[in-house]
Chain A
Amino acid sequence: MSGPAPGAAAAGRERRRGRIGWLEQTLAGITASIEHAVFTEQHARERGFLQARDPRAKLAIFLALVLAASLSGSITVLAGLYLVVLAAAGASHVPYRYFVKRVWLGIPLVAGIVVIPALFLVPGPRLFDLPAGPLHVAPSLPGVVGGVIFVARVGVSVSLALLLVMTTPWADLLKSLRALHVPQVFVLILSMTYRYIFLFLHTVNGVLQARKSRVVGRTSGAEQRRWISGTMGALVNRAFKMSNDVYAAMLARGFTGELRAYSTYRMRTTDWAVLAGSLTVAAVGVLAGPFLP
């Protein structure tokens, strides 16, 4: 999935034509992103290297490598881990462009902002000193190195998380969490939230479209805000009713609170081998880190 989501493209066209309000833009964008996330299960259904692995093994590998990335202070180790991630993505038929773009377009905004103060506050020799009126822009060398390492850590960790989600169906991922003894209630809440947020957003969009189809001309900001507050109340009410109905439908099919996944899993020799290999990589990364730049 390398192109933009269809919903987002439509919203973009509408926005350019000036026919659409900010609320609709926001909601259409959120829906398109979530829809896109749901569609990523397309990759999870492909026949690739990671898709063929037992989800419990994948989750364990993910946790081990994220731990290694978090503990490592070496840019060499982080670069090595990222290369491993890229190789695994390639072997799993994950489109590189989409994969790399999705991680690295967002990270500078989030992680970059967090590290900006450290660039100037960490003591050490200055990289350069740029006078800007009464101020001096003078980042320190240890600050810059620390910032780069921090951004690299976040990048590797997010890449690992994205790869795990893209190559594992959501239901399998949840079952893996249960295998790691994550509490049932937590897994159930996570599962229902994921499933219904998409349906709920579709409901919200439906309400917006129904309104739009009955509005002639432009509405004032005040009027829009009044309508939004009213709609929010109605939607909370609807969500509450929907949750009751969905739960009733689950009970009607014998649900007792225990999640049972359809697929039955079995760790094969390859799964054990990949798990062992990944744990070795993680261990080597952590142990060798202090000796590498």
Chain B
Amino acid sequence: MSAGGSRPSHAIELEGVSFVYPDGTWALRDVCLAVPEGGRVAIVGQNGSGKSTLLRHLNGLLRPSAGRVLVRGRETAGVPVERIARQVGLLFQNPDLQIFEEQVADEVAFGPRNLGLTGADLASAVMEALEAVGLRGLEHANPFNLGFSRRKLVALAAILAMRTPIVALDEPTTGQDGRGLGLVEEVVRRLADEGRTVLATSHDMRFVAETFERVVVMREGAIVADGTPDEVFAPAAWEVLRSTHLDPPPAAVVGGALGLGSTPTEAQLVAALRERDARYG
């Protein structure tokens, strides 16, 4: 990747990125976004708002029609996808478009193997990733015989095993039950603890509010709000959220009414409701 002359403290930088699909659809319009190393950013917005298109720019699967994308300070223009893949791991929205091996372990090993891992290092990367998504013991299962939520977790493990410094997750919570959702939350937190940068798209506002430190709201290919969950889910921003067919998480609504801000914890909500109950009978 050629040097872009930008601050190396940024994992991802999008400078005035626009993208037009061959059929003339504008998917991104002059998007500017800088994500620091180790940042945890959720990208939300209605279907077709450009979230997935944006993520596909991060590892060069899509190239901007205008503007530029920098990964860890280096411009991605002209750099092959397989080289950017060493920096950015991308989880696809539909696991069936990502999975193609007949064994879970083979599927998870595909990425790290391509990055040059072999022997014990490879085996440890595979087992660690499977452990993280709760699929240890299913190494020899055929992924196509697993249910959708587990296939999605296999796809997630396949990205984790690559141990890239930047991880982009396209709708990681889709189709997950409570356990799966908990695993995905835990994965995101662990990645952040390890100092890795995480970007994820999601329609699950509770997941977004509780797991990410920054929320970017997109509408019709443009960023219309960008801030902490507290700011984005605050009553003042609800109009913007609703303009892109999103509702603030219930905790933000109740927390706002109780004066607890827009990202109260469950414990804070319960305590405030008990206090209110005690005060007013």
A246 near B85 with CB under 8 A, answer: no
Contact partners of A170 in chain B: CB under 8 A = 102
| Partner of B61 from A195, A251, A262, A264 at Cβ < 8 Å | A251
Q: Which of A3-11, A18-26, A143-151, A253-261 contacts B (4 or more CB under 8 A)?
A: A253-261
Q: Which residue of A lies closest to B94 (CB)?
A: A245
Contact with B along A53-83 (1 / 0, CB 8 A): 0000000000000000000000000000000
Interface size class of B (residues with CB under 8 A): 35 or more
A254 near B97 with CB under 8 A, answer: no
Q: How far is the CA of A260 from the CA of B122 in the complex (A)?
A: 12
| Partner of A262 from B82, B89, B113 at Cβ < 8 Å | B113
Q: Which of A173-214 contact B (CB under 8 A)?
A: 192, 195-196, 198-199
* B162 interface residue (CB < 8 Å to A): yes
Contact with A along B134-161 (1 / 0, CB 8 A): 0000001010100000000000001100
Given contact pairs A171-B106, A199-B144, A253 touches B158 in the complex (Cβ within 8 A): yes
Q: How far is the CA of A167 from the CA of B119 in the complex (A)?
A: 24
* A249 interface residue (CB < 8 Å to B): yes
Please give the distance in Å from A263's CB to the nearest CB on chain B: 9
Given contact pairs A249-B98, A254-B85, A198 touches B144 in the complex (Cβ within 8 A): yes
Q: Which residue of A lies closest to B98 (CB)?
A: A249
* B115 interface residue (CB < 8 Å to A): yes
* B19 interface residue (CB < 8 Å to A): no
B103 near A264 with CB under 8 A, answer: no
Q: How far is the CA of A169 from the CA of B106 in the complex (A)?
A: 11
* B213 interface residue (CB < 8 Å to A): no
Please give the distance in Å from B56's CB to the nearest CB on chain A: 8
Contact with A along B75-115 (1 / 0, CB 8 A): 00000011001100110101011101111011001110111
A255 near B114 with CB under 8 A, answer: yes
Contact partners of B162 in chain A: CB under 8 A = 253-254
Given contact pairs A251-B82, A253-B158, A256-B82, A245 touches B118 in the complex (Cβ within 8 A): no
Given contact pairs A41-B142, A198-B144, A264-B118, A253 touches B111 in the complex (Cβ within 8 A): yes
| Partner of B114 from A169, A171, A253 at Cβ < 8 Å | A253
Please tell me the number of chain A residues within 8 Å of chain B, measured between CB atoms: 27
B106 near A253 with CB under 8 A, answer: no
Contact partners of A255 in chain B: CB under 8 A = 82, 110, 114
Q: How far is the CA of A45 from the CA of B59 in the complex (A)?
A: 36
Interface contact tally, CB-CB below 8 A = 81
A245 near B97 with CB under 8 A, answer: yes
Q: How far is the CA of A248 from the CA of B61 in the complex (A)?
A: 7
Q: How far is the CA of A233 from the CA of B279 in the complex (A)?
A: 68
Please give the distance in Å from A48's CB to the nearest CB on chain B: 16
* A38 interface residue (CB < 8 Å to B): yes
A252 near B85 with CB under 8 A, answer: yes
Q: Which residue of B lies closest to A171 (CB)?
A: B106
A196 near B61 with CB under 8 A, answer: no
| Partner of A246 from B97, B103, B105, B142 at Cβ < 8 Å | B97
Given contact pairs A252-B61, A253-B85, A254-B162, A199 touches B103 in the complex (Cβ within 8 A): no
Contact partners of A264 in chain B: CB under 8 A = 118-119
B114 near A38 with CB under 8 A, answer: no
* A100 interface residue (CB < 8 Å to B): no
Q: How far is the CA of A61 from the CA of B86 in the complex (A)?
A: 40
Q: Which of B11-68 contact A (CB under 8 A)?
A: 56, 59, 61
* A234 interface residue (CB < 8 Å to B): no
Contact partners of A246 in chain B: CB under 8 A = 97-98, 100
Contact partners of B86 in chain A: CB under 8 A = 254
Contact partners of A199 in chain B: CB under 8 A = 96, 144
Given contact pairs A251-B82, A255-B82, A260 touches B114 in the complex (Cβ within 8 A): yes
Given contact pairs A251-B81, A252-B81, A171 touches B103 in the complex (Cβ within 8 A): yes
Q: How far is the CA of A199 from the CA of B90 in the complex (A)?
A: 22
Q: How far is the CA of A256 from the CA of B111 in the complex (A)?
A: 11
A254 near B111 with CB under 8 A, answer: yes
Q: How far is the CA of A45 from the CA of B159 in the complex (A)?
A: 26
Q: Which residue of A lies closest to B62 (CB)?
A: A248
A262 near B85 with CB under 8 A, answer: no
Extra 11 A-B pairs, beta carbons < 8 Å, given A171-B102, A246-B97, A252-B81: A195-B100, A242-B97, A248-B61, A248-B97, A249-B97, A252-B61, A252-B90, A253-B89, A255-B114, A260-B113, A262-B113
What 9 A-B pairs have minimum CB-CB distances, sorted nearest first?
A: A254-B114, A253-B111, A245-B97, A254-B85, A251-B81, A249-B98, A260-B113, A262-B109, A252-B90
